[in-house]
Amino acid sequence: MRAGSMGVARRQAIEQQIQVGIAFDAEDFVEVSQVHLMADTESLGEAGVEYLESIAALPEEQRRVRVPTVTDPRGIDLCAYQKLNQPEQFAQLERRTIAALSAMDILMTDTCINYQTIMAPVRGEHLAFGDTGSTIYANSVCGARSNFEGGPAALAAALTGRVPRYGCHLDRGRRGTHVFEIKNRPQSLSDWGALGALVGRHTGSYWTVPVISGIDSSPTSDELKHFGAALASYGSVPLFHMLGVTPEAADLHSLFDQHPPQPEVITRADIDDFYTSFGRHDDQVDVVVFAAPQLSMIEMLGLARRLEGRRVHHKTALLIATSPENKSACDRMGITEIIESSGAILLKGVCFYQMYARELGEANGWKRLMSNSAKLVNIISGYGYQPVLATTEACIEAAIKGRM
């Protein structure tokens, strides 16, 4: 590949990976079995799309990815962008991106929950995952091995079929560094997100591996999804261990080379204080968002049951994002009809903060945002919103009443 006999795209990709490997003192490469590619159009811009098109224009044997590669959420739902007042130029950029990626044999799955909907990784499997939420879930819950591979790095891995062996690919990169003792088990998805945020704030480094104790029974996949997504968002952490739950965490002492450190205690009061930090105002809510991560079928059914026979307030928008596969299943099962009959907008293949969120807010006059996602409320204030974290039930009630 480096010699160029497999084409310019693979030569450029392996050269980039060699430089990354040198930077992180990697001794060699490791082959990966699948890639999860972040390449939303807001991040790509015109230059990024042109780069993808240059690869797509190469002969077939030079442009095709070497391992199964799936995509993260897109920036535009081509079936819904007009009702959200998103401009045609964004949609055109999206169409060009889809055409280029498809020419490279990349599967347009458009989801951040590929571990729930496409092909769940298995323990010890080496991956090149890009989305922080998918990476931390694959590493921690599945016991697979991946670093955070941003868009260019994940694309390079797709073209070469390998990544530099450092960080979470190494046994020593998966050893515990901190212990957190949870005194009160989280009760809701937003609680799990709040807990992830608190742990992330206490670690705050890519090279830390928090170990969670005190969880007396296994959380659900959705609970771990919200916990991991928030932890990765607030702490830049790609891996956690949860005693008695995650596959590498049989007991505390096996996770540390020396005696485990004293645990940092997190109580219910700490979680309550986290909610309070966003403020509580008896004020109009402009938009309620369920996204980041996209919703599972279980979450979709739960929202449908809470919205059935009710109507979203005329001054409030309710946006719900799920994967294209889950959207198709919701269509078939009648869940979509129940949700959309309430006035909610059901989006497929997108995630709110990747949808040109600032422009979206300006076009629709959205400022006050409410969500059950700790990850989303962490990110979205940077796009000009005033976010509030709340439970799923509280978010639905706010959407119906038009007030927080």
Confidence at 280, pLDDT banded by 50, 70, 90: low
Identity of the amino acid at 235:
G
Q: What is the pLDDT of residue 204?
A: 84
Would the pTM of this model clear 0.85, i.e. be above it? yes
Task: Please give the Cα distance from 171 to 374 (Å, whole number).
Answer: 30
371 strand-pairing partners: 289, 389
Taking alpha carbons only, the member of 322, 374, 327, 381 closest to residue 357 is 381
Taking alpha carbons only, the member of 67, 8, 70, 60 closest to residue 39 is 70
Contacts of 150 (CB under 8 A, 6+ apart): 38, 130
- Residues 268-293 have a mean pLDDT of 92
Average pLDDT, the chain: 97
369 strand-pairing partners: 287, 387
The total of other beta-carbon atoms located within 10 Å of residue 238's CB is 27
- Residues 78-105 have a mean pLDDT of 98
Question: Tokens 């224009």 identify what position?
Answer: 57
| DSSP assigned state of 24 | T
Q: What is the pLDDT of residue 148?
A: 97
Decide if pLDDT at 282 tops 80.
no
Decide if pLDDT at 304 tops 90.
yes
Give the pairing of strands 29-31 and 162-164: antiparallel
Question: 3-state DSSP: the chain helix, strand, coil percent, rounded to 5?
Answer: 45, 15, 40
Tens digit of each residue's pLDDT (9 = 90 or more) over 199-235: 999 998 999 999 999 998 999 999 999 999 999 999 9
Q: Which helix (H) or strand (E) holds 182?
A: strand 178-182
